[in-house]
Amino acid sequence: MATLGPASASAEILRLLLRAGVDVVRLNLSHGSREDHHRLMQLVRQVAGEEDRLVPIIADLMGPRFRLGSLPGDGRTLSDGHQVTLGAPTTGAEVPIDDSRLLSHLQPGERVLIDNGLVELVIEKRHGETLRARVTSGGPIATRKGINLPDTDLPFTISTKDREDIRWAVSEGVDYFAASYVGSAADVEAVRQEVHRAGGDQLLVAKLERALAVEHLEEIVAAADASMVARGDLGVEVPLDTVPVLQKRIVDAGRRLSKPIIVATQMLESMMEHPRPSRAESSDIANAVFEGVDALMLSGETAAGHYPVQAVETMSRIIHQAEGYEASRHQAVTNVAGGVDRAALELFRAAIDVASQDSDRIPVEIPDAVAEAAVITARRLGVRSIVAFSQSGFTARLVARFRPANPIAVCTNNPETARRVQLIWGTRPLLVSEELEHHSQLVQAVERLLLAQDLVESGDRIVILMGDPLADRPRTNLMRVHEVVG
């Protein structure tokens, strides 16, 4: 998943990014004009069409952003242990807050983090229209530097800018919205309702970047269509040593709930300036793959870095190496002689168990059971591909959470679904042009598409998942094993 910006704003670079491995593109609505974003969207559709690719666009909403007000000159430096005042810009406070409404929510003992946490204050008491705070970690502050309030219970609001951006992006036909700074399932639903009011049905990615979001992790992942581990702001709001564990918890929640998880921020930060990554960045990407994430996101690396294409190529190579290792572990389930490697079999069963964990709040339903059966059947029979016939992508998500060794072909007659499933691990969307009413028609259409894409050969077996009867478009309730005739 690549963020577009000045470094990737040409057809030539965008084409190279898609060929290098980009499946999803992101537009950061916090930066740039609508004219810029419109031009980039048109460019994505043009180049994707020329490359015969289905590429979804994620519009990342700015969300509530808190910043310092205007400071004289180059700003000022706050010293450890000193007491300072916080207030609206009109009060003459040493630390002016651009949005003075924040002041009513701050309470004694709560932290104010400035400039990604480089400067830290702790509120001590209220004094008229201002607040007194002590500097616990000093440093320079300047106009418009960002503020994080990890301890403060701030009400979630949708800004005027976000409302206008939602209406505009709906009219442009984006595929996803990324909702910033959500802290509960209710916040996710508030954004969804705003999208519906604008006449849209776009899917929502919940950005997990607040300490409050960690407390409501399960409900947010369940309410959203996908979630993002936004490690930048999250690493400011929670202790840095907890971020890797939180990332693992979020990925696990996504697997349990069959919801895609994106890991973002500083994946290849060094490649903003250099053509090669650090060894730590390489390990970071591989470990995210081992954890089972659906997508890895590049931000500044492709939006403003000096080496956007090299960054994607590098990430793609690391992902392929990591997934190759994972595939070799799966392959070890059955040895060359056809006997069973017991240790590897236990490993596979453990993976199935993890993905199948359901609490009382997540009852197992027919589509879940059929998806699990398809993965086990595919492995036992050595099928070439698992095919999910889907109108919404729901079946693809159910299958993908088991991380099968087989590719997941998603057949749909809905172009939006065909694009959107690109965010789901291991999927290959195939757009069906004809109307299908019977199983035999579906099987024939699937076979033609797979053969045309060189995804199967004559004699290969495939597992097909569908809802029966087709005309009623029910949820997945049928699994069929088919041998390709060709």
What CATH number corresponds to the domain at position 390?
3.40.1380.20
d(CA 426, CA 238): 32
Distance of alpha carbon 181 from the chain centroid: 14
Instruction: Return the higher-pLDDT residue of 361 and 179.
Output: 179
On whether both 50 and 102 belong to a single domain, the answer is: no
Q: Please say which residue of 306, 327, 348 terminates a domain.
A: 327
On whether both 56 and 70 belong to a single domain, the answer is: no
pLDDT beyond 90 at 45: yes
Q: How far is CA 295 from CA 45, 66, 264, 290, 407, in A?
A: 21, 28, 9, 12, 16
Establish if 219 belongs to a structural domain: yes
Round the average pLDDT of the chain to a whole number and report it: 90
Which helix (DSSP H) or strand (DSSP E) does residue 283 occupy? Answer: helix 279-291
d(CA 47, CA 473): 33
Establish if 343 belongs to a structural domain: no
Residue 89, both tokens:
């810009």
Report, as an integer, the average pLDDT of 142-165.
93
pLDDT of residue 474: 79
Report, as an integer, the average pLDDT of 107-135.
94
Question: What CATH code is carried by the domain that includes residue 56?
Answer: 3.20.20.60
On whether both 93 and 166 belong to a single domain, the answer is: no
d(CA 47, CA 53): 8
Helices and strands of the chain, counted as H and E runs: 16, 22
Establish if 332 belongs to a structural domain: no
pLDDT of residue 336: 43
Stated length of the chain: 486
Nearest of 294, 78, 56, 75 to residue 176 by alpha carbon: 56
Report, as an integer, the average pLDDT of 356-382.
78
pLDDT beyond 70 at 88: yes
Alpha helices in 136-278 (DSSP H): 160-172, 185-197, 211-215, 217-223, 231-237, 243-257
Report, as an integer, the average pLDDT of 255-273.
96
Establish if 451 belongs to a structural domain: yes
On whether both 193 and 318 belong to a single domain, the answer is: yes
Instruction: Return the higher-pLDDT residue of 409 and 356.
Output: 409
pLDDT beyond 60 at 20: yes
Establish if 334 belongs to a structural domain: no
On whether both 47 and 125 belong to a single domain, the answer is: no
pLDDT beyond 90 at 469: no
pLDDT of residue 470: 74
Instruction: Return the higher-pLDDT residue of 31 and 178.
Output: 178
Question: What CATH code is carried by the domain that includes residue 102?
Answer: 2.40.33.10
Nearest of 230, 175, 227 to residue 200 by alpha carbon: 175
Q: Please say which residue of 327, 354, 375 terminates a domain.
A: 327
Distance of alpha carbon 410 from the chain centroid: 19
On whether both 374 and 470 belong to a single domain, the answer is: yes
Establish if 288 belongs to a structural domain: yes
On whether both 286 and 373 belong to a single domain, the answer is: no
On whether both 175 and 320 belong to a single domain, the answer is: yes
The predicted-structure confidence for 265-312, as pLDDT tens digits, reads as follows 999 999 999 999 999 999 999 999 999 999 999 999 999 999 999 999
pLDDT beyond 70 at 7: yes
Domain that residue 120 falls in: 66-148
pLDDT of residue 355: 54
> pLDDT band at 337, cuts 50/70/90?
very low
Considering its fold, how many domains does the chain have in total? Answer: 3
On whether both 218 and 320 belong to a single domain, the answer is: yes
On whether both 71 and 42 belong to a single domain, the answer is: no
The predicted-structure confidence for 351-364, as pLDDT tens digits, reads as follows 555 555 554 445 66
Cis status of the peptide bond prior to 260, with omega within 30 of 0 = no
The predicted-structure confidence for 415-467, as pLDDT tens digits, reads as follows 999 999 999 999 999 998 877 777 788 888 889 999 998 999 999 999 999 88
pLDDT of residue 99: 87
Q: Please say which residue of 104, 128, 148 terminates a domain.
A: 148
> pLDDT band at 338, cuts 50/70/90?
very low
On whether both 395 and 277 belong to a single domain, the answer is: no
On whether both 393 and 259 belong to a single domain, the answer is: no
pLDDT of residue 345: 53
Establish if 10 belongs to a structural domain: yes
Establish if 335 belongs to a structural domain: no
The predicted-structure confidence for 474-485, as pLDDT tens digits, reads as follows 788 889 999 998
